Amino acid sequence: MRKIIEFIVKYLSSLFSPKKVKTVIKEYKDYITKEHDINIFKEINQYRQSKGLSFVENAPRNITNIIGEHAVWLSDKVSSKEDVEIFAHWYAYDRFEQIKLRTSDKVRCGEVVAYGYTHPKSVVYGWDGSVGHKEILNGDFNYVAIASEGKCVVAIFYKV
């Protein structure tokens, strides 16, 4: 009788316990880095230098492609700051997992999104004006991937 009860408990708990799903590497379209992205990258490092922080390096193409796809998707989805508040960080966990698969299980990531800023300096100072984004902008990271499309800018800072 005890073995039957143990079996039933084990079976029922397996039905309701979360399953660990293995993430697989997804292929992304090549993102073509824009001059705007390069200028934002420069502004980020000027900002970080002014705060006494270390520079971040530009992420390799395989990481930038991940962000590029999200920037294009986001640009197609949104037409206002209210829309951005809803959609900006959808699937961020998936992007972070894809970065982990391409770098290290120990990687730490933080994502920032800007909408409607036309100049690179205003993008960076917009992030500086948001508590959550400022923590990431000033965080202990050594890489950043940046992609822009339309009025949207997406950046993921990460540390390997």
Q: For the segment 1-46, what is each residue's pLDDT rounded down to a tens digit?
A: 656 666 555 555 545 545 555 678 999 999 999 999 999 999 999 9
pTM score, two decimals?
0.85
Per residue in 78-106, pLDDT tens? 999 999 999 999 999 999 999 999 999 99
Q: What crossing angle do the helices spanning 120-128 and 35-50 adopt, rounded to 10°?
A: 50
Helix (H) or strand (E) holding 14: helix 2-16
Question: How far is residue 114's CA from residue 116's CA, in Å, rounded to a whole number?
Answer: 7
Q: How many domains would you assign to the chain?
A: 1
Which CATH number do you get for residue 123?
Answer: 3.40.33.10
Predicted pLDDT at 17: 46
Q: Which domain covers residue 58, as residue numbers?
A: 2-159
Residue 156 backbone phi and psi in degrees, to 5: -120, 120
